[in-house]
Amino acid sequence: MANAGLQLLGFILAFLGWLGTIVSTALPQWKISSYAGDNIVTAQAIYEGLWMSCVSQSTGQIQCKVFDSLLNLSTTLQATRALMVIGIILGLIAILVATVGMKCMKCLEDDEVQKMRMAVFGGMIFLVAGLAVLVATAWYGNRVAREFYDPLTPVNFRYEFGQALFIGWAAASLCLLGGALLCCSCPKKTTSYPTPRPYPKTTPSSGKDYV
């Protein structure tokens, strides 16, 4: 029987990872302008996300522009969008499924094995959601790093990792860890042995031999 506290800890971690996925997807700071060069103008900061690009002035004024054309976006950005949205949807499904299988809930109290299976199934969905978020953030981060070290990229157009990217990595880690802890609720198979047959009772001998 899995520990109820461990199961609850896994659910909380996975739930926090799902919330982090939503925050990371919504934030525009997936990549921010780099100040590695000598002639960089620091009066403004440029950062881009999955849905918009923003310019922050030194006076505190921020101007954002939503990406209008979907087909004009790069393949990496489109794939990252799709994976993050898939991670959010899968996380929501995992929350609903894992809630049914939690020991602290009243659902399926009569069938303990089925209840634990629901918790394991929710943990597996959390694992898939975490992998989707991890692939999305790693793919996007790899693209930012390649463009930064590309000698053909102008210095003024080089970007570094933004806060949203780090939040996405943390969210993926929490989803994977929480899903793994939920999968520990897997019911153990009990070895079934055949029921021993009772030996026939021997009747006391009457001392007479029958021919």
What is the rounded distance in angstroms from the CA atom of residue 74 to the CA atom of residue 81?
11
Does residue 101 fall inside a structural domain?
yes
Can you give the residue range of the structural domain that contains 124?
4-30+70-183
Q: What percent of the chain has pLDDT over 70?
A: 76
What is the rounded distance in angstroms from the CA atom of residue 135 to the CA atom of residue 101?
28
Does residue 204 fall inside a structural domain?
no
Do 94 and 179 contact (CB within 8 A), yes or no?
yes
Report the 10 Å Cβ neighbour count for 16: 15
Does residue 64 fall inside a structural domain?
no
What is the rounded distance in angstroms from the CA atom of residue 194 to the CA atom of residue 181?
34
Do 119 and 102 contact (CB within 8 A), yes or no?
yes
pLDDT at site 200: 55
The band of 75, judged by pLDDT with boundaries at 50, 70 and 90, is: confident
**Average pLDDT of the segment spanning 26-30:** 91
User: What is the total count of domains within the chain?
Assistant: 1
pLDDT at site 103: 73
Tell whether the model's pLDDT for residue 201 goes beyond 80: no
Tell whether the model's pLDDT for residue 73 goes beyond 60: yes
The model's pTM = 0.79
**Average pLDDT of the segment spanning 125-136:** 96
Does residue 49 fall inside a structural domain?
no
Tell whether the model's pLDDT for residue 191 goes beyond 50: no
The band of 116, judged by pLDDT with boundaries at 50, 70 and 90, is: confident
Do 160 and 166 contact (CB within 8 A), yes or no?
no
Tell whether the model's pLDDT for residue 64 goes beyond 80: yes
Does residue 63 fall inside a structural domain?
no
The segment with the largest mean pLDDT, out of 81-95, 116-130, 156-170, 180-194, is 81-95
Does residue 57 fall inside a structural domain?
no
**CATH number for 138:** 1.20.140.150
Does residue 51 fall inside a structural domain?
no
Does residue 43 fall inside a structural domain?
no
The segment with the largest mean pLDDT, out of 52-56, 69-73, 127-131, is 127-131
